[in-house]
């Protein structure tokens, strides 16, 4: 991420968002693979309970990260 967020270019913004989207897709694929394995090893109900907890933790982590990143529109306001 650029040290000076006010100099975020269209290209860099596109690169960052593309990486985030790719990471989210890869995370979902990983969760899917583990759910398939878990539901065979334990019951689907227990595996679902674990997945629910995992989704909650992941959501909390993402929310914390997001709360520390300025909104893109806010970058424009700070430049003016």
In a domain, 4, yes or no: no
Domain encompassing residue 72? 9-79
| 28: nearest Cα among 54, 67, 60 | 54
pLDDT of res. 54: 96
In a domain, 2, yes or no: no
pLDDT of res. 4: 60
pLDDT tens per residue, range 52-66:
999 999 999 999 998
Given a contact cutoff of 8 angstroms between Cβ atoms, the answer to whether 45 and 39 are in contact is: no
In a domain, 41, yes or no: yes
In a domain, 1, yes or no: no
Domain count of the fold of the chain: 1
In 1-80, beta strands by DSSP E: none
Work out the pLDDT band at 7, boundaries 50, 70, 90.
Answer: confident
| pTM of structure | 0.70
In a domain, 29, yes or no: yes
User: What's the token pair of residue 18?
Assistant: 């593309």
């Amino acid at each position: 991420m650029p040290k000076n967020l006010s100099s975020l270019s269209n290209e860099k913004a596109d690169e960052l968002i593309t990486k985030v989207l790719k990471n989210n897709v890869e995370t979902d694929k990983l969760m899917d693979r583990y759910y398939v394995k878990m539901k065979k090893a334990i019951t689907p109900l227990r595996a679902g309970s674990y997945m629910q907890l995992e989704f909650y933790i992941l959501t909390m982590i993402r929310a914390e990260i997001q709360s520390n990143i300025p909104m893109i529109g806010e970058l424009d306001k700070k430049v003016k």
